[in-house]
Amino acid sequence: MDTQLQKVMDTAYACMQACNHCFNECLKEDDIDMVRECIRLDRECADMCQMVLSYAGREGVLQHDLISLCEKICQACGNECAQHEHMEHCQECAKACFACADACRAFVSA
Amino acid sequence: MDTQLQKVMDTAYACMQACNHCFNECLKEDDIDMVRECIRLDRECADMCQMVLSYAGREGVLQHDLISLCEKICQACGNECAQHEHMEHCQECAKACFACADACRAFVSA
Amino acid sequence: MDTQLQKVMDTAYACMQACNHCFNECLKEDDIDMVRECIRLDRECADMCQMVLSYAGREGVLQHDLISLCEKICQACGNECAQHEHMEHCQECAKACFACADACRAFVSA
Amino acid sequence: MDTQLQKVMDTAYACMQACNHCFNECLKEDDIDMVRECIRLDRECADMCQMVLSYAGREGVLQHDLISLCEKICQACGNECAQHEHMEHCQECAKACFACADACRAFVSA
């Protein structure tokens, strides 16, 4: 597999884990009211990363398009999570989202 | 496709839609604090129904086992949703969950 | 749910079933050599339909984009299957693919 | 995340990639006739690994059961692939399947 695609997959794998962990922790937050959008985006982002993991490496017709959508949702989820400065799971999630978005952007623009 | 399997699929399709709708509405509830477990189970149940939809009809090795797990999570999600008597989306979701659980049980025990 | 989106979901559900059935039957064909691309596209199309089923109704950020990709892969899969005139599962699959592509196109251009 | 669960995820990630690569290469084999079952099981195993990746780390109700099913399909897929001694992708796939099956077994029996 080419290096850029493997980078997309590895960051998507890390991002999916971070999003699922964040989803889980958000549901336990005392202040769940302020992480509603986070919960929604964590799920959407995790599902998209999972889709990319499943498609990448199959030489599929949609690979390029899906990685482009993955960049979009990782950016959105990262932006949302980054706002919650006092929640460690959100900060970690934002970091993983931005790393995946970067890898997707590099792949798509190559 | 045999009738019982088609019934599993059709109820799983309806259940997945009901769970995703419920997930969505729960995230908008003023009283989000009391639907934390509902949100978690809605996602888990929707994903499992989706898995059954994807596997059923492929004559896969795991079809029987997956339908058995689907019964388990539908029952759990239905029980949780049923408790929220004043939330229409939860009541509808519980109904769809129990219908799917019934269809799965009938298939597995056939 | 709006009518056009429900149409997308119902045709995607039928299409996913047709693709999985076609995938299954192609793997049993004496002349498997000529359905290689069909097998690959059946899987990719079924997975994309499944993704749309999972996302639609959640008011997700990517809903519109995913339905647009679904149209693309349904068209590709339908075109491939349509060529195998003597295989009933391919003809049925092509029909379901084109119906889903039509519904996706109507939704996206609305 | 506990070590055994992380092991399940890492081997499931590698197994999913190996299965998708094998699926892809099998569809290009001159002797596609002898890898029919391999193609079917590669898809089923990849999907199951993907499911485990998606569920693990969410503290879900079904986590234990899904990892148990993953062990079953990895074993089945590994046994099938292992028979094709002259196909490198099948040998690699078998290796990844057995590694994942081992990790699942260790987790489930812990």
Provide the residue type at C11 as one letter: T
CATH number at C85 reads: 1.20.1270.360
User: Using an 8 Å Cβ cutoff, are A22 and C33 in contact?
Assistant: no
Question: What would the pLDDT profile of B26-59 be if each residue is shown by its tens digit?
Answer: 999 999 999 999 999 999 999 999 999 998 878 8
Question: Average pLDDT over chain B, rounded to whole?
Answer: 94
- The verdict on a CB contact (< 8 Å) between B39 and A27 is yes
pLDDT of residue D1: 67
The DSSP output letter for C83 is T
Give the tokens for residue C8: 């997308």
Distance CA A68, CA A72 (A): 7
- The verdict on a CB contact (< 8 Å) between C41 and A61 is yes
Of residues C13, C23, C58, nearest to B13 (C-beta)? C13
Question: Which ranges in B27-87 belong to alpha helices (H)?
Answer: 36-55, 63-82
Of residues B17, B21, B53, nearest to C16 (C-beta)? B53
Average pLDDT over residues A86-107: 96
Give whole-number Cα distances, B65 to B7, C63, C99, D78, D105, in Å: 17, 31, 32, 19, 17
- D85 to chain A, minimum CA–CA distance in Å? 22
Average pLDDT over residues B93-106: 98
- D57 to chain A, minimum CA–CA distance in Å? 6
Give residue B35's Cα distance to chain centre: 16
* Residues of chain B contacting D, Cβ within 8 Å: 40-41, 44, 47-48, 51, 54-55, 58, 60-62, 65-66, 69, 72-73, 76
Place of tokens 């919960």: A39
Mutation to test the C interface, candidates D31, D39, D42, D51, most C Cβ within 10 Å: D39
Distance CA C86, CA B8 (A): 31
pLDDT of residue C1: 67
- The verdict on a CB contact (< 8 Å) between D39 and C39 is yes
Mutation to test the C interface, candidates D22, D40, D50, most C Cβ within 10 Å: D40
User: Using an 8 Å Cβ cutoff, are B6 and B52 in contact?
Assistant: no
pLDDT of residue C60: 85
Provide the residue type at C92 as one letter: E
- The verdict on a CB contact (< 8 Å) between B13 and C58 is no
Please list the pLDDT of chain C residue by residue as tens digits (110 residues): 689 999 999 999 999 999 999 999 999 999 999 999 999 999 999 999 999 999 887 888 899 999 999 999 999 999 999 999 899 999 999 999 999 999 999 999 98
Tell me which chain B residues have a C-beta less than 8 angstroms from the C-beta of A36.
27-28, 32
Place of tokens 């799971």: A89
Provide the residue type at B6 as one letter: Q
User: Using an 8 Å Cβ cutoff, are C77 and B43 in contact?
Assistant: no
Residue B32 three-state SS:
helix
Of residues D13, D16, D58, nearest to A24 (C-beta)? D58
The tally of domains found in chain A comes to 1
A57 has pLDDT over 80? no
Subunits in contact with chain A (3 or more CB pairs closer than 8 Å): B, C, D
Q: How far apart are the first and last CA of chain D?
A: 15
Determine whether B37 is exposed, middle or buried from the number of CB atoms within 10 Å of its CB (0-12, 13-18, 19+). middle
User: Using an 8 Å Cβ cutoff, are B66 and B51 in contact?
Assistant: yes
Integer-rounded Cα radius of gyration of chain C: 14
Phi-psi category of residue A89: left, alpha or beta, with phi > 0 → left and psi -120 to 50 → alpha = alpha
- The verdict on a CB contact (< 8 Å) between C57 and B9 is no
Task: Flag the least confident range among A7-21, B11-25, C50-64, D40-54.
Answer: C50-64
B18 has pLDDT over 90? yes
Distance CA A51, CA A55 (A): 6
Q: What is the ipTM of this complex?
A: 0.93
Q: Roughly what angle, to the nearest 10 degrees, separates helices C3-26 and B3-26? A: 140
* Residues of chain D contacting A, Cβ within 8 Å: 1, 9, 13, 16-17, 20-21, 23-24, 46-47, 50, 53-54, 57-59
User: What residue numbers bound the domain in which C94 lies?
Assistant: 3-108
The total number of residues shown for chain A amounts to: 110
Give the tokens for residue A65: 């398009």
Residue C46 three-state SS:
helix
pLDDT of residue A1: 67
pLDDT of residue B82: 96
Distance CA B17, CA D93 (A): 36
Of residues B23, B53, B58, nearest to C24 (C-beta)? B58
Q: How many CB pairs (< 8 A) connect A and B?
A: 20
* Number of other residues whose CB lies within 10 A of the CB of residue D91: 15
* Number of other residues whose CB lies within 10 A of the CB of residue C12: 27
Closest residue in D to B43 (Cα–Cα): D60
User: Using an 8 Å Cβ cutoff, are C15 and C104 in contact?
Assistant: no
- A29 to chain C, minimum CA–CA distance in Å? 22
DSSP string of B69-80? HHHHHHHHHHHH
- B24 to chain A, minimum CA–CA distance in Å? 8
Determine whether B106 is exposed, middle or buried from the number of CB atoms within 10 Å of its CB (0-12, 13-18, 19+). middle
* Number of other residues whose CB lies within 10 A of the CB of residue D84: 20
D104 has pLDDT over 80? yes
* Number of other residues whose CB lies within 10 A of the CB of residue A36: 16
